[in-house]
Chain A
Amino acid sequence: MIYKVISKGEFKAFIDALVQNNSSFGPRKVDTGSNGKPIYQFMPVKSVDEIDFDYTVTHSSAKHFFLPYRDELSHFNFSDGNWEQEIRYEAPPIILIGLRPCDINAVNILDDVMLHGAYPSPYYLARRKNNFIIGMDHMPLPDCFCHSMNRHTVNHGFNLFCSDIGDSYYLSINSSKAFNFLKEFKIEEPTYEDNCLLIERRKNIKNSFATKIEVSGLPCFLDIEFDSPIWQKWGDKCLSCGSCAMVCPTCYCYSVEECFDIDLKGSTRQNHLYSCNLVDFAQVTGGHNFRPKTGDRLKYRYYHHYRGFAANDNQQICVGCNRCGRACLADINPKDVINDLRLERESCMICVSPSPDKT
């Protein structure tokens, strides 16, 4: 990693040069909520003036740039009583601007699942190779809990990371591509004072988290609480609408659909991002549904996120961005569900016997 400092004015010139010449996406205000607060999304940008650098958080994550909501996996051509499969791994290069540390950590987690498992995804690889990520730090929102998940800082998975130190950005340069781009612009060695400002900024961010979730020992806790009535309690609120999974930066579960071309001369196989909360997620051929109950489906989503699945070395995949909590109309959010689960057990007085005395 190489560290440099760039003035905010020069940084804008740098970003403008990038977005003028490349297919780029950055945070933009798309609406104003009924609470008066702006609503942001990662949207196409053609000039630096379109980017809201001081945005709070985007409603949806940046996941769909790597895992599109719908993706054609292959096309089959039928001819002469036979068929041919046509597969393309093409992804145009894109620049992603303004991803938060939690967002970049999420991409790193997706890398683990999609690239480092037994069956690496060539579709994902094509997109992941062909992007340039510029990260930016931010002061946490009241409901951000990435600190609890230890995802509030990030040291890889980006080309360039910018920490706001007042009049300048403190740059962490993590790729030769980024370094070469920046050569054309006025960047400076960090001074002693810049370093102090960076440390101060990080301390300030770390101390500003208002939402904390106790996740230590959570995998074991979840195993024990498999039959807890808490799941049904929260399941009764759940609409099974899948919004949580759609906005989540790490939910990667999908369904595969195949459909004929209308001329019957071919067909496509399509990948469709799905959610384990949707009613037929665990329905199999013949019609049996392994998880017909809302509470069970909600539980499995929490297990995947906080207990981890074997496919990704039992790692917790939640990064603590709370996008699911904000998107949920029924007001289901990780903080309340996990605290409820812990409270239920930890406040139980029925079968507690005193710990043995220390000898």
Chain B
Amino acid sequence: MNHLGFEMEKVKIGSFDFTCCEGCQLQLANKESTLPDFLALLDIRNFREISSERLDDYDIALVEGSITRPDEIERLKAIRAKAKVLIAFGTCACFGGVNSLKNRIPQEEAIREVYDNKAVETMPSMKISDVVQVDHSIPGCPVSKDEVEQILVGIVTRSQVSLPTYPVCVDCKQQLNTCLFDLGELCLGPITRAGCNAVCTTGKSACLGCRGPAEELNMPAFFELVKDRALSLNDLHEMLAFYNAFEPFATDET
């Protein structure tokens, strides 16, 4: 590939799934209109959803899912050792995701509920950065293919890679949506990182915060406005816990 007179190599990439639904990886194979151009940037070394090749040399590792078994820790560490750049890919990888719901109940109870009394080796769900160093994060449930494209192009061209710092409200107002709070509903849009084009709130579904906290959150003010509107704090805690993305702020209630 030639870009502005510079010869560029395709990036060798591997995509790996841990505890997850593989929906984020599936997004990589979506958006057919740009799929050939997208794949042209990449030398796919290991990605079971689109290739049967299993090669061990890659520069970028996309890691999807959370860590819930001891063997996953070993596998993840081996990937980290091989990859120059490791990207936490999707909400489960970035925050623990829906899988973390089981962290709120005793493990034995969770196992009994799902697997009856089968012996299952499991542990509380962890995000990728709990185990290894993460170089970039691409949050979202699922990830937005547009954003993935931009970030991978950024890595390929060695230009700036960043996520929006501001909350979903900016995207939502730009869609001329009615604020869900005006409809008497709770929504995590004001505290969640933008970049999703407010797809849920545009469909009149409350934001559940899959992209995690926006930067420099004012959590006390958010709790205050929920209380002022006589909305349920229990519901708010449920929403905050849904993707485990707001765990660091869980004790911020004023």
Quote the shortest CB–CB distance from B130 to chain A (angstroms).
26
Q: Contacts A259-B150, A330-B221 given: A264-B169 contact, CB under 8 Å?
A: no
CB-CB under 8 A from A239, the residues of chain B are 167, 169, 190-191, 218, 221-222, 225
- Please state if A39 and B182 are interface contacts (CB–CB under 8 Å): yes
A347 to B14, CA, bound (A): 67
Decide yes or no whether A310 CB sits under 8 A from chain B.
no
* B 178-189 to A, binary, CB cutoff 8 A, 1 in contact else 0: 110111100001
Decide yes or no whether B118 CB sits under 8 A from chain A.
no
CB-CB under 8 A from B165, the residues of chain A are 278-280
A263 to B216, CA, bound (A): 35
Residue of B nearest to A285 (CB): B160
Residue of B nearest to A59 (CB): B178
Quote the shortest CB–CB distance from B230 to chain A (angstroms).
11
Decide yes or no whether A60 CB sits under 8 A from chain B.
yes
Please name 5 pairs of A and B residues whose Cβ atoms are closer than 8 Å in the assembled complex, sorted by A. A31-B178, A239-B222, A243-B173, A247-B173, A331-B225
A34 to B182, CA, bound (A): 6
Decide yes or no whether A246 CB sits under 8 A from chain B.
yes
Count of inter-chain pairs, beta carbons less than 8 A = 122
Quote the shortest CB–CB distance from A125 to chain B (angstroms).
23
Decide yes or no whether B104 CB sits under 8 A from chain A.
no
The dominant DSSP class at the B interface is helix
Q: Contacts A239-B191, A279-B166, A330-B225 given: A262-B182 contact, CB under 8 Å?
A: no
Quote the shortest CB–CB distance from A32 to chain B (angstroms).
8
| Residue of A64, A81, A241 with most chain B CB atoms under a 10 A cut-off | A241
Q: Contacts A78-B4, A246-B174 given: A241-B38 contact, CB under 8 Å?
A: no
A30 to B215, CA, bound (A): 31
- Please state if B170 and A278 are interface contacts (CB–CB under 8 Å): yes
Decide yes or no whether B106 CB sits under 8 A from chain A.
no
Within 8 Å by CB of B215, from A236, A243, A279, lies A279
Decide yes or no whether A237 CB sits under 8 A from chain B.
yes
Q: Contacts A262-B153, A264-B1 given: A238-B221 contact, CB under 8 Å?
A: yes
Within 8 Å by CB of B173, from A246, A263, A280, lies A246
- Please state if B166 and A241 are interface contacts (CB–CB under 8 Å): yes
A128 to B24, CA, bound (A): 43
- Please state if B183 and A34 are interface contacts (CB–CB under 8 Å): yes
- Please state if B157 and A69 are interface contacts (CB–CB under 8 Å): no
CB-CB under 8 A from B190, the residues of chain A are 239, 241, 243, 329
Quote the shortest CB–CB distance from A61 to chain B (angstroms).
11
Residue of B nearest to A43 (CB): B176
A246 to B172, CA, bound (A): 10
- Please state if B169 and A242 are interface contacts (CB–CB under 8 Å): yes
Residues in A209-252 with C-beta less than 8 Å from chain B: 236-243, 246-247
Quote the shortest CB–CB distance from A44 to chain B (angstroms).
11
Decide yes or no whether B72 CB sits under 8 A from chain A.
no
- Please state if A33 and B183 are interface contacts (CB–CB under 8 Å): yes
Decide yes or no whether B132 CB sits under 8 A from chain A.
no
Tell me the A residues contacting B by CB distance below 8 Å. Answer: 30-31, 33-34, 39, 41, 43, 59-60, 64, 69-70, 78, 81, 83, 236-243, 246-247, 259-264, 273, 275, 278-280, 292, 294, 327, 329-331
Residue of A nearest to B226 (CB): A329
A330 to B8, CA, bound (A): 49
Decide yes or no whether B40 CB sits under 8 A from chain A.
yes
- Please state if B174 and A69 are interface contacts (CB–CB under 8 Å): yes
Residue of B nearest to A263 (CB): B37
A41 to B220, CA, bound (A): 31
* Given pairs A81-B2, A329-B190, 20 additional interface contacts (CB within 8 A): A34-B182, A39-B178, A59-B176, A239-B169, A239-B191, A239-B221, A240-B166, A240-B167, A240-B216, A241-B169, A243-B169, A243-B170, A246-B173, A247-B173, A260-B154, A260-B159, A263-B37, A263-B40, A264-B156, A327-B179
Quote the shortest CB–CB distance from A34 to chain B (angstroms).
3
Quote the shortest CB–CB distance from B220 to chain A (angstroms).
8
* B 1-40 to A, binary, CB cutoff 8 A, 1 in contact else 0: 1111100100000000000000000000000001001101
CB-CB under 8 A from B169, the residues of chain A are 239, 241-243, 246
Decide yes or no whether B59 CB sits under 8 A from chain A.
no
- Please state if A41 and B37 are interface contacts (CB–CB under 8 Å): no
| Residue of B1, B216, B228 with most chain A CB atoms under a 10 A cut-off | B216
- Please state if A264 and B176 are interface contacts (CB–CB under 8 Å): no
* B 126-146 to A, binary, CB cutoff 8 A, 1 in contact else 0: 000000000000000000000
Quote the shortest CB–CB distance from B179 to chain A (angstroms).
7
Decide yes or no whether B41 CB sits under 8 A from chain A.
yes
A240 to B219, CA, bound (A): 11
Quote the shortest CB–CB distance from A346 to chain B (angstroms).
27
CB-CB under 8 A from B150, the residues of chain A are 259
- Please state if A242 and B167 are interface contacts (CB–CB under 8 Å): yes
A60 to B176, CA, bound (A): 7
A259 to B147, CA, bound (A): 11
Within 8 Å by CB of A30, from B34, B37, B178, lies B178
CB-CB under 8 A from A264, the residues of chain B are 1, 3, 8, 41, 153, 156-157
CB-CB under 8 A from B228, the residues of chain A are 331
A260 to B1, CA, bound (A): 14
